[in-house]
Structure 1
Amino acid sequence: MSDLLTRIQEIISWSALGPTAFADEIGVPRPVISHVLSGRNKPSLEVVQKILSRYTEIAPKWLLSGEGDMLTLLAEKDATSHVEDQPSDPINRNGIILGDVQKDGKVPELIVSSGESATSENENKKKVVKVILLYSDGSFESYDS
């Protein structure tokens, strides 16, 4: 089994999608991913490019050679410990904002309950007033509390 194949399988597992949904997500025909996963065909340059274009948080060097960390945020964090170099709004692979990074690099604790507030040790309680969901096709939904 190719090392590249192993890394693609790891990305599929990380994305929490099945092979067919993964193929749809990156924009390749379903049989292409099926043939790659079965070992019938090797991943093409097009497949690699589409993975990297859809999942920008995947480190290209890791996907191609296996060097470094899978996620670019982890690779950047290892390269430097400066909070300024990290995105101001950390977003997970599903587009959900995880919270604001404080000056000390910590993410405030979030209480996950309807109408509850997000808090940190040093701040007063904040009430959630709006939630915006951003989808990969460019559409969005907005919910006011």
Structure 2
Amino acid sequence: MVNTEDFTKRLHKIMEYHELSAASFADKIDVGRSSISHLLSGRNKPSLDFVMKIVSAFPDVELYWLLNGKGSFPKKEDNALAPVAQKQVSASQPQARDLFSNSDEVATAMAAGDSRKEIRRIVLFYSDGTFEAFEN
């Protein structure tokens, strides 16, 4: 369960870091300004949709940090390992295809199912508890 008071402190930290008022923060994550006001006052608890909008709008916010306060903000990238990891992926696995850029490929990939369906989001979950979401 998320501690609402601590969650609110982390929201303030994000807003201060990005130099945003509550109103501009609400606009940035595409929620009503009253939603932010109610969260900051402790009246409401954050919904999953609200949390996901923050993580999507601010790539430097780690989900685990936002929910539990563990981890870091802003997100620290380990660039020293990136080239090694990329070599390992490219050497051991075929390259991933971009299904979003070519609708014909999407239709072909979905031929076994209902071709009227469209992939809207792909979420990758990692063993360390983090994830990445890719939206069309």
TM-score by length of 2: 0.54
**Identity %, equivalent residues:** 40
| 1:41 aligns with one of 41, 44, 49 | 44
Structure 1 position 85, deviation (Å): 2.5
- Across the two proteins, how many residue pairs are aligned to each other? 80
Structure 1 runs of 4+ with >2 Å offset: 82-86
Equivalent positions of 1:1-145 (< 5 A) are 2-73=5-76, 76-77=77-78, 83=80, 85=82
Q: What is the aligned-residue RMSD (CA, Å)?
A: 1.8
TM-score by length of 1: 0.50
Structure 1 position 70, deviation (Å): 1.2
Contact map agreement 1:20 1:30 (CA 8 A) in 2: yes
Alpha-carbon deviations, 1:3-59, whole Å to 9, x = none?
A: 111111111111101000000001001100011111111122111110000001111
Which has the larger helix fraction?
Answer: 2
Q: Which runs of 5+ in 2 are unaligned?
A: 84-136
